[in-house]
Amino acid sequence: MLIPPKIFRKRPNDKTASASLIITVFFVVLIPVVFLLYQNNCRTESKNYRDNILSSVNNAKNFKEFSDNLFRYEVTNNSVTTAFTLKNPEEYGIPDLSPVLNDISARQYSKDAKGKISEKIIDRIQKKLSAFPKENLTGKDQLIYELIDKHLTLSKEMSKYSYYETMLGKSSGAFAKLPVTLCEYPLDDEDDVKTYLTLVSQVPDYFKNVIEYENDKAKHNMPTPVFLLKESRSELENLIKNLKTDDNCFVTTFNERIKNIEDISVKNKKKYISNNRYYVNRYIIPAYEEIYDYIYTSIRNSGSSNSKISQSQSKNKENLPDLDTSYGLSSYKNGKKYYELLVRDATGSDKTVNDLITMTETTLNNTLSEVLRIATTDTDAYLYYCDHPLESGFHSPDGILTALSMMMRNDYPPLDKTPSYTVRKVPDSLSDMLSPAFYLIPRIDNYDNNIIYINPQYTSEANGNIFTTLAHEGFPGHLYQTVYFNNTDPAPIRQILDYPGYVEGWATYVELNSFSFIDHPQYAESLPALYRSDSIISLALSSRIDIGVNYEGWTLNDTCKYFEDLGFNSYYAGDIYSYVVEAPANYLSYFIGYLEIMQLKTDYKNFKMENYSEIEFHRALLDIGPADFATIRKYLLR
């Protein structure tokens, strides 16, 4: 929906519900594709290529041809998708295509919403899929068949709901995602540099489509809430100010990347560096200023006032909603139904939302009881926990990752070889918008090149979260799980089927397990259990609020009361409320995904009985790979 694909896996900010970088993709576009056409030498024109590939999908003679062509169709949505997925597209039968930053126009989106074109496209693809008898396929292909079929069905249902997401959120909106997307755009040769500069020149058109989409959203009585616009305005002010400096992120990262390209002469490198600086001033800065002016005007025309909320109810009392107004998805027509679909997509769980409420509240209450038990039976450990952040004994990110890769050996299956990785710091200019940490998903044909970003504003030794954050992002979290899955030689189509519940649930599961890696001899098992419980409680609270706001119509007042009824200070209520309105169901990817994996573990133990092995459970789960949990359970327990 007017945004590039997912290329990041990140860790949520459990305390402030801060910026979230994950870029969502719905498999099989929910709206038809309309391209910004740019000819570049003898490159194949993108629209013609994808029209032909879609025809090839519908004319495939066998299942492999069908799934491979479907992969080519999806991965060529735009140049960002292609570049972040494949290092060598030609090896997958994809020609050099004309550069396309954004493949969807807001006008065509509106046309699709009226004509249900997406549903018709998906119907044709699903009809073709059904032409291949599943029972005639191999076990591996049967799994792929089931996943594609489920994805198509869910995508078709979600395509019926237009204008339910905002493109102007401070952490999930277009302007927030673009910097890291472009600053990490792979530059391997001179053609990549030329493509990149063309994409930069398309940023103004991209943002114009965002504005047009938001105007249409308002016409459908679903405008982005003003309090979210105010938060975005504050972030944009800081970002634009930084963009006007000589060391802004678009300039410094480009200069660094181009240094490593061997086939460009020194003279041409200087030319491209100069061109990029010109393009930033000519295209990017004016585009951001236009977005800022649009938001500023929207706020001014709204005539709204600030929420009357005390400092004790939120750390940020300037950009908050009215206390007694519901702003979640349930406040929109058919919003609850859309949220149900969104939750299914985000979590991979087939349980009802009411079932998820029960799961969440049960886990929260059990964990609170565990904390109370430790507080009354091991008071010294509890007092130490209250006064000290988590101390791992490791200091540098590289040292922590090395230690984690060794500590995990008894419980997780080994990789063929230790993958290479680089740990980087988030630029200061982006720290307010970005999450505490994120893992940059490598290209599927170059998956030994892994990058983890740390945001020092939220993640540090002083905050006591760097060890567990790196367990989430690195070993045995996203980096390990991604490399392991790639080592199984999966079909290309499986690499673009997105299952946030599985991947974020896994990363949360291993992160919570990593507390046991930290030795606290003075307090034995009590201290790790308390820190682990703290994380579970935080995720459970945030997830319950997400459901309350977006499914049950909670107001900010309701959210504050929920905190207080549980005995918690409502200091962060406003911030979590704002976040779940902007990014509904995101927290559930982590928490419900984690709970589903824990249930799978229990079921697997009961299935194997005395033959149960921790490492074999992990191996079985990793071998199946990303999928919805009903499908995983079917293949895990047979």
**What's the confidence (pLDDT) of residue 393?**
82
Mean pLDDT across the chain: 90
> Looking at per-residue confidence, does 314 or 171 come out higher?
171
Q: pLDDT tens digits, residue range 112-167?
A: 888 888 899 999 999 999 999 999 999 999 999 999 999 999 999 999 999 999 99
**What's the confidence (pLDDT) of residue 410?**
95
274-to-84, 108, 286, 492 alpha-carbon distances in Å: 25, 36, 18, 38
Q: pLDDT tens digits, residue range 218-236?
A: 999 999 999 999 999 999 9
Q: Is the per-residue pLDDT at 427 higher than 90? A: no
The mean pLDDT of 410-436, rounded to a whole number, is 88
**What's the confidence (pLDDT) of residue 525?**
86
Neighbouring residues of 422: CB distance < 8 A, sequence distance ≥ 6: 450, 451, 452
Q: Is the per-residue pLDDT at 637 higher than 90? A: yes
List Cβ<8 Å contacts ≥24 apart for 29-32. Answer: 29/74, 29/77, 29/104, 29/118, 29/121, 30/1, 30/118, 30/155, 30/158, 30/159, 31/1, 31/104, 31/108, 31/109, 31/112, 31/113, 31/117, 31/118, 31/159, 32/108, 32/112, 32/117, 32/118, 32/121
**What's the confidence (pLDDT) of residue 8?**
52
| DSSP for residue 44 | B
* Three-state DSSP state, 322: coil
Q: Is the per-residue pLDDT at 618 higher than 60? A: yes
Q: pLDDT tens digits, residue range 172-185?
A: 899 999 998 999 99
List Cβ<8 Å contacts ≥24 apart for 551-555. Answer: 551/328, 551/329, 551/330, 551/336, 551/339, 551/340, 551/353, 552/330, 553/326, 553/328, 553/330, 553/331, 554/326, 554/328, 555/321, 555/322, 555/323, 555/324, 555/325, 555/326, 555/327
Q: pLDDT tens digits, residue range 374-420?
A: 999 999 999 999 999 988 888 899 999 999 999 999 999 999 998 99
**What's the confidence (pLDDT) of residue 10?**
59
Q: Is the per-residue pLDDT at 594 higher than 90? A: yes
**What's the confidence (pLDDT) of residue 20?**
27
Task: Return the percentage of the chain with pLDDT > 90, whole number.
Answer: 79
Q: pLDDT tens digits, residue range 27-75?
A: 333 222 222 333 344 688 998 999 999 999 999 999 999 999 999 999 9
Global pTM value: 0.92
Which residue's entry shows tokens 């990017």?
A: 284
Q: pLDDT tens digits, residue range 196-219?
A: 999 999 999 999 999 999 999 999
Structure tokens at 437: 């940490």
* CA 271 to chain centroid: 35
Q: Is the per-residue pLDDT at 6 higher than 80? A: no
* Three-state DSSP state, 422: strand
Longest dimension (CA), the chain: 74
Query: What whole-number distance in Å separates Cα of residue 148 and Cα of residue 140?
Result: 13
* CA 88 to chain centroid: 24
Query: What whole-number distance in Å separates Cα of residue 26 and Cα of residue 108?
Result: 17
Question: What beta strand segments (E) does 325-462 contain?
Answer: 420-425, 437-440, 449-454
- The confidence band for 12, taking pLDDT boundaries of 50, 70 and 90, is low
**What's the confidence (pLDDT) of residue 333?**
96
**What's the confidence (pLDDT) of residue 277?**
97
199-to-242, 390, 562, 598 alpha-carbon distances in Å: 21, 43, 46, 43
- The confidence band for 2, taking pLDDT boundaries of 50, 70 and 90, is very low
- Comparing C-alpha atoms, which of 26, 31, 76, 59 is closest to residue 127? 59
**What's the confidence (pLDDT) of residue 4?**
34
**What's the confidence (pLDDT) of residue 434?**
80
**What's the confidence (pLDDT) of residue 11?**
57
The mean pLDDT of 586-590, rounded to a whole number, is 98
Query: What whole-number distance in Å separates Cα of residue 154 and Cα of residue 160?
Result: 10
Q: Is the per-residue pLDDT at 520 higher than 90? A: no
The mean pLDDT of 622-629, rounded to a whole number, is 98
**What's the confidence (pLDDT) of residue 433?**
73
Query: What whole-number distance in Å separates Cα of residue 318 and Cα of residue 222?
Result: 23
Q: pLDDT tens digits, residue range 281-340?
A: 999 999 999 999 999 999 999 875 554 544 445 455 567 799 999 999 999 999 999 999
The distance in angstroms from the start CA to the end CA of the chain is: 38
